[in-house]
Amino acid sequence: MGWNGSPAEPAAAPAMRWWGWGAADRAPALPAATVARLRAQLGASGPPCPPVALSQVRLPESTLAAPALAELERVLGRHRVALDHAVRVRHAAGRGYLDLVRLRRGEPEGAPDAVLRVGDHRQVLDVLEVCGRRSVAVVPFGGGTSVVGGVAPLRGRHEAVVALDLAGIAGIEALDRESLTVTVGAGMRVAALERELARQGLTLGHFPQSFEYVSLGGCAATRSAGQASTGYGRFEELVLGLRLATPTGEIELHPTPASAAGPDLRELVMGSEGTLGVIDRLTLRVRERPAAHHYEGWLFPDFESGVAALRRLAQEGLAPAVARLSDREETALTLRLAGTGLKQQAARLYVGARGYRDGCLAILGFEGQAARVAATRKAAKRVLRDQRAIALGGGAGEAWLASRFDGPYLRDELLTHGVMVETLETATVWSSLPSLKAAVADAIAGALAGCGTPGIVGCHVSHLYDSGASLYFTLLARTLPGEAERQWHAVKDAAGAAILDGGGTITHHHAIGRDHAGWLAQEVGASGIAALTAVKRQLDPEGIMNPGKLLA
């Protein structure tokens, strides 16, 4: 782990496990006793449930017609068109909870009928042309990390569906040190770009939990927000220029710091989630690597005090690059899952002694020029103390940094042990934050109880804005055997309704994909949907681009 939280030279994106997160050789990290206690609390029983063998995964036969296949092979070269079982499995799903449940049991919903490994812009345009003419649906596939069904191999009304794998359109095309911009192939992974930039003393500053695998184009297409977005901005704030290949041509928007030349088409392309076309080039803002960083833990006596402090930090210009506040439940869960490191132990004892046993943990990560970091920390400390926060020191901050990308690995382990793990998120203005948080947590807890699987529901505030913040919920429950889908839908439906009724957005950074498509109309209204649909019809008249997502 590098000093500023970016992984120090991770192996170049090792292939992800076909059934879950991370590289195949990653060992389980949760102590058996921790798992056992958690299972007991949730009422989970039964033996571990590992994934089936890859060869046992059942896929439908490819329905790609011979003429379409031949044409695709002609425009791409045969080596870029894959139909074999293993490759199709690896492009059969994203990394949402149901994706994992289905993959692990060897029963994905389906799979692309072929996987197309494009190598340049011309090939993307050629593929779209062929697919439009041959009625083949196209799913743009970057890192495959969607947790909302964004890469589900849906074919809509088409004969077949292909995954368009963009990993081959990667690398830095241009670096403008004076303007601090970098132009990249959009299939490049965020981690790979960060590694290259680090060599130049630069950083993108984008660290979503999917950091190790997610692609830059995927971040743009889904309006990603990284863990340090409070400091570096959401991904869309980093995008100055982009190119979108569509079935009817391309939209190229040259990098500009800002413009008043009509509606901002960048903001129409970003969030389009592959339904309008394929983002294959991006020009991004980069920054000088911060000279100083200081990550630290704080404990608030209650959630309300913590929210008040974060709000003041945001509104007074003191917000750190990373700011996260866990509620009581998530704090307890974090301490439990974090293992038995000495620092955690010490923190727990300290906290217990001071009467903050049920406190709320906050992680604050300050980055920047040394003098600025020092001044900001000093001013922030006053705000934090005003809200009765006690300092846990740098150890808690470093512990968070060291585990910041661990969530998906833990999820895989818990799934093996019959524990459902899901996360969902929203954002709202500060004045609605407490009521929204309570309503969504209650809705999730109620839905789980209604399934006969009462669970643990934790929440944290992150991604601070002057006007509000995001809320990120994590829920754990025993898996309802044979009914994982029903259980999940019960939770998602309850949470989605609570979010929109409570004034939240249906998603702050996970995107719409398939899972939230039913909610979008409530958020943007019928005319909003009509406007987006009109653009879709214009750019993708055959409707081949990522059917069933966003506007489904």
Query: Restricting to residues 406-465, which ones interact with a second copy according to CB under 8 A?
Result: 427-432, 463, 465
Between 102 and 492, CB nearer to a second copy: 492
Least gap, CB of 37 to a second copy (angstroms): 35
- 3-state class (DSSP) for residue 521: helix
Least gap, CB of 358 to a second copy (angstroms): 25
Phi first, then psi: give them for residue 71, nearest 5 degrees: -65, -40
Least gap, CB of 536 to a second copy (angstroms): 9
Q: Is residue 223 a contact partner of residue 202, using CB atoms and an 8 Å limit?
A: no
In Å, how far are 76, 88, 271 from 552, measured between CA atoms? 30, 24, 14
- Burial status of residue 268 (CB atoms within 10 A of its CB: 0-12, 13-18, 19 or more): middle
Choose which of 317, 342, 353, 482 interacts with a second copy (CB under 8 A).
317
In Å, how far are 73, 76, 241, 542, 546 from 160, measured between CA atoms? 15, 18, 32, 13, 12
Of 495, 544, 501, nearest to 516 by C-alpha is 495
Whole-angstrom Cα distance, residue 14 to residue 25? 10
Strand arrangement, sheet containing 239-246: 172-176, 181-185, 278-285, 239-246, 249-253
Q: Please, which of residues 462-501 interact with a second copy by CB under 8 A?
A: 463, 465-470
Whole-angstrom Cα distance, residue 365 to residue 373? 10
83: Cα separation from own chain's centroid = 28
Q: Is residue 253 a contact partner of residue 266, using CB atoms and an 8 Å limit?
A: yes
* Piece of 396-404, 444-452, 481-489, 530-538 that binds a second copy (CB under 8 A): 530-538
Whole-angstrom Cα distance, residue 274 to residue 544? 10
User: Quick one: CA torsion of 425, 29, 321, 300, rounded to 10 degrees?
Assistant: 80
Q: Encoding tokens for residue 336? A: 């439990």
Q: Is 280 in the site for a second copy (CB under 8 A)?
A: no
Choose which of 193, 220, 495, 512 interacts with a second copy (CB under 8 A).
512
Q: Encoding tokens for residue 95? A: 């990394």
Choose which of 53, 261, 342, 353 interacts with a second copy (CB under 8 A).
261
Q: Is residue 510 a contact partner of residue 549, using CB atoms and an 8 Å limit?
A: no
Choose which of 126, 510, 514, 545 interacts with a second copy (CB under 8 A).
510
Between 41 and 315, CB nearer to a second copy: 315
Between 493 and 523, CB nearer to a second copy: 523
List residues bridging with 191 in a β-sheet: none
Q: Please, which of residues 191-220 interact with a second copy by CB under 8 A?
A: none
Q: Is 121 in the site for a second copy (CB under 8 A)?
A: no
Q: Is 520 in the site for a second copy (CB under 8 A)?
A: yes
Choose which of 180, 335, 402, 497 interacts with a second copy (CB under 8 A).
180
Question: How many of the chain's residues bind a second copy (CB under 8 A)?
Answer: 94
Q: Is 368 in the site for a second copy (CB under 8 A)?
A: yes
Q: Is 32 in the site for a second copy (CB under 8 A)?
A: no
Least gap, CB of 121 to a second copy (angstroms): 14
* Piece of 28-36, 43-51, 295-303, 308-316 that binds a second copy (CB under 8 A): 308-316
Between 23 and 535, CB nearer to a second copy: 535
Least gap, CB of 214 to a second copy (angstroms): 13
Between 413 and 542, CB nearer to a second copy: 542
Q: Is 122 in the site for a second copy (CB under 8 A)?
A: no
Q: Is 371 in the site for a second copy (CB under 8 A)?
A: yes
Q: Is residue 294 a contact partner of residue 366, using CB atoms and an 8 Å limit?
A: yes
Choose which of 95, 102, 195, 223 interacts with a second copy (CB under 8 A).
223
Look up residue 223 and give its DSSP letter.
Answer: T
Whole-angstrom Cα distance, residue 23 to residue 334? 24
* Piece of 153-161, 171-179, 391-399, 480-488 that binds a second copy (CB under 8 A): 171-179
Choose which of 104, 117, 155, 287 interacts with a second copy (CB under 8 A).
287
- Burial status of residue 65 (CB atoms within 10 A of its CB: 0-12, 13-18, 19 or more): middle
Whole-angstrom Cα distance, residue 305 to residue 316? 16
Whole-angstrom Cα distance, residue 79 to residue 92? 20
Least gap, CB of 272 to a second copy (angstroms): 6
Between 30 and 373, CB nearer to a second copy: 373
* Piece of 13-21, 36-44, 485-493, 532-540 that binds a second copy (CB under 8 A): 532-540
Q: Is 525 in the site for a second copy (CB under 8 A)?
A: yes
Q: Is 269 in the site for a second copy (CB under 8 A)?
A: yes
Q: Is 291 in the site for a second copy (CB under 8 A)?
A: no
- Burial status of residue 243 (CB atoms within 10 A of its CB: 0-12, 13-18, 19 or more): buried
Look up residue 186 and give its DSSP letter.
Answer: T
Phi first, then psi: give them for residue 158, nearest 5 degrees: -100, 165
Q: Please, which of residues 336-365 interact with a second copy by CB under 8 A?
A: none
Q: Is 181 in the site for a second copy (CB under 8 A)?
A: yes
Q: Is 288 in the site for a second copy (CB under 8 A)?
A: yes
List residues bridging with 363 in a β-sheet: 297, 324
Q: Is 234 in the site for a second copy (CB under 8 A)?
A: yes
Q: Please, which of residues 240-259 interact with a second copy by CB under 8 A?
A: 240, 246, 248-259
Between 368 and 418, CB nearer to a second copy: 368
Q: Is 535 in the site for a second copy (CB under 8 A)?
A: yes
Least gap, CB of 472 to a second copy (angstroms): 13
Least gap, CB of 169 to a second copy (angstroms): 19
